[in-house]
Copies of this chain bind each other. A is one copy, B any other.
Amino acid sequence: MNKAGDDDEGQPGGQSEPVRQSVGKGLSKLSAPSFTPGWSKASCPCCHSERVEPLVLVKLGEKVSPETKRWLIKLIGAPQKDGGAGLLAHPGEEATGNIIVLSAPRCTLLQATEELGLCKMYCSGDMEAFAYDDRDNFRDSDNMEAFLTLAERQFIIKYELDGLRAQKDLRIPGMLDSCVLQKRDNIWQKLGAAGVIVDTFPLHNPDKLKDLSEAWYTSNQLAQPLDKVNEYFGSSMAFYFSFLDFYTWSLLPPAILGLFIAYYSREVQREMLQSVSGSQDEEPQDEPEPLISGHMLQAVFSMLWSTVVMELWKRRSSALSYRWGTLHLAERFAEPRPGFHGDLGVNPVTGRVEPLFPEWKRDLRMALVSVPVVGLFLGLVVLGMTCFYWAEASVQQLHKDWDSMMSQALLFVPSVLHIVYTNMLATVYRTLARSLTEYENHREESAYDNHLTGKILVFTFFNNFAVLFHIAFFKQDIPLLRKRLASLLIITQLVNQVTEVVVPFLVDRFISAPHRTQSEDDPEEDKFRNQGTLPPFPGLFAEYIELLVQFGYLSLFSCVFPLTAVLLLLNNLTEIRSDAYKICKLFRKPFSPPVANMGVWQVAFEVLSFVSVVSNCWLLLLSPRLQDLGQQAGMSGSSLLMAAVMVEHVLILVKVIMAALIPDEPDWIRKKREHIEYTSMQALRQQKLNVQES
């Protein structure tokens, strides 16, 4: 819990302080409806406020008529019971302009907080699931800017917009007659499809952003301001950075061990020299090597290490989730996600009328459509690799036979073709994964995300590791593997850092920025509009997969190249800063739903940690050192293999037992959870009784 409580400072007393900052200079025009009556009125009297914080920008299509815009503003401002979103809208400087700025009144925010199942600080000092009716007992519930994080407030606006559904069939005013909303249609989706709405994105808050970036990457401290990240960017982003942080620190033990081994083991030094220099000359072995080689030590350590790290991360993750109030998210009990469709019916859990879609149908679709398609694409990856190897071999043969300029040029053809093929495949697959997941029709946003991520993850991972696995398991060429791994670790990571940060930075600075120069005197609206010219944030997938691939290099092949952890540690220390810079400066601010953990990524890391046992045992078995040892001890190849299999089984058993024994949540969280279960059980009994008496 580094930096714990950092952003709590001054909150209880200084309610007006952070607000004044954000209202600041240029904002006064938009944020004080009493002066410029641009903001729509909040529908309930308790929510009238002197200042309104602009949170989200909606960009309309160029050809949208003022009539449509007026209708839209009215819809957004209408109370929820009348089918509106219950938000506050501002039409921008000129009523005919193509933007709408949104904010949310207190009641809407509080009700959505309850619907999302967010936990907030109760007057007793515990985090408890927020209840609108009980709002006065929650701390800061009268000051939204202290009560909800900026990310939560912005997500709630998106949540309300996504939840807009037509209450009856109607024509969109100012649009062609063909644009008709049918009853229960999702309005925001339809408007997007009809081109009325081009974009919806949350607005940066320049002062807070400056604060955050100072605490995060411009100063030189080691700990990240995770609570501030959660406040500004939301819990999904904060979980990524917490994991990055946790994972980076947990690289220390293997890195130290790796350095130690590299320093003391002559064998390892020689091998690494070979892998970097490419020379294959054997040095004379004058001294006897110790019985347990550095590789073995490294392998066994890293296999057990990965389980301990993942179990400890689960504990930290649940502690963070309690801290950030996302431990009891009520997604299951909330409205289904916008894209969900099905026959209307009564939800047996909540008793509400909503679209229902039978579980078995979804399972069937997954089993009969998604799984085969994913399998097909994995097969295509293998096919591509096989063709590549075959083509390379034949081209090399050809070159040997002909030995001409043309044949030399031909040498590059297989690689180029393979790269083109792989990229095309990945693009097609990504589109397909999206439609497959859409077709599976998940009820909850998180289930949708997890299934989509899972699909792309399997493919990307396969794509990344197919070659390494091929070298390790089929070619069984350890020196080649070591060489590949070294080049991947050093070159790929450098390339990644460059493409991820330097290129966007240059593009931003020298290509986009000149069009975006702004002075202090520009109207606030233009500044908002300018944020729209930044590229949208592409999501955390690329960041997570980078970590996963790293973790794969480390755990799957660590015994081949002991300095892996050292290189990764160095990489991650810069990665934290560069990711932070990237997310703060180079992209539009993303919406970030509250999440309770890393979702499918956690599973992926755990699976990898088990696969690593198989791979490490195999690699150790292949190592010439162990083969020598075996021959000296008079063991046949079979009994050596047998021994390796036994060691593997024991290690897997140890890992399973460790994973079962380390509890997934700290004791204090378990107690709090059980206490909540107990009190809600009691409450249920009481309620039944009350219902019966009345």
A-side interface residues toward B, CB under 8 Å? Answer: 114, 129, 131, 133-134, 136-137, 330, 332-333, 348-350, 359-360, 614, 636-638, 641-642, 645, 649, 667, 671-672, 674-676, 678-690, 692
Contact = CB atoms under 8 A, between A and B. Distances in A.
B687 A686 contact: yes
A134 B688 contact: yes
Contact of A349 (B348, B637, B675, B683): B675
Given A348-B675, A680-B680, A692 B330 contact: no
A644 to B, nearest CB: 9
A532 to B, nearest CB: 40
Question: What 9 pairs between A and B have smallest CB-CB spacing?
Answer: A131-B685, A683-B687, A680-B684, A680-B680, A683-B683, A683-B684, A349-B674, A637-B638, A348-B671
B678 A129 contact: no
A642 to B, nearest CB: 7
9 contacts: A131-B688, A133-B689, A134-B685, A134-B689, A136-B692, A137-B692, A348-B671, A359-B667, A680-B680
Given A638-B638, A645-B645, A667-B359, A350 B678 contact: yes
Given A349-B671, A683-B683, A687-B686, A678 B638 contact: no
Q: Which of A133, A332, A685 has the most B CB atoms < 10 Å from its CB?
A: A685
A438 to B, nearest CB: 22
Contacts of A674: 332, 349
Contacts of A692: 134, 136-137
A133 B685 contact: yes
A687 B689 contact: no
Contacts of A676: 684
Contacts of A350: 675, 678
A374 to B, nearest CB: 14
A674 B359 CA distance: 15
Given A641-B642, A649-B614, A349 B678 contact: yes
B688 A137 contact: yes
A137 B693 CA distance: 11
Nearest to A663: B359
Given A684-B683, A687-B683, A692-B137, A678 B333 contact: yes
Contacts of A642: 641
A690 B136 CA distance: 13
Contact of A686 (B332, B678, B683): B683
Contacts of A129: 681, 684-685
A589 B672 CA distance: 40
Given A641-B642, A671-B348, A131 B689 contact: yes
A649 B683 CA distance: 49
A613 to B, nearest CB: 11
A649 to B, nearest CB: 7
A661 B549 CA distance: 26
B681 A681 contact: no
Contacts of A671: 348-349
A129 B680 CA distance: 13
Select the residue from A134, A636, A638, A674 with max chain B CB neighbours within 10 A.
A134
A684 B682 CA distance: 8
A679 B691 CA distance: 13
A349 B638 CA distance: 56
A349 B133 CA distance: 25
A369 B153 CA distance: 53
Contacts of A683: 680, 683-684, 686-688
A279 B129 CA distance: 74
Nearest to A649: B614
Contacts of A114: 685
Contacts of A688: 131, 134, 137, 683
Contact of A641 (B360, B638, B681): B638
Given A676-B684, A680-B680, A683-B688, 18 more contacts: A129-B681, A131-B685, A134-B685, A333-B678, A348-B671, A348-B672, A348-B675, A349-B674, A349-B675, A350-B678, A359-B667, A614-B649, A637-B637, A641-B645, A679-B687, A680-B683, A680-B684, A684-B684
A136 B692 CA distance: 10
A679 B332 CA distance: 13
A362 to B, nearest CB: 11
Contacts of A684: 129, 676, 679-680, 683-684
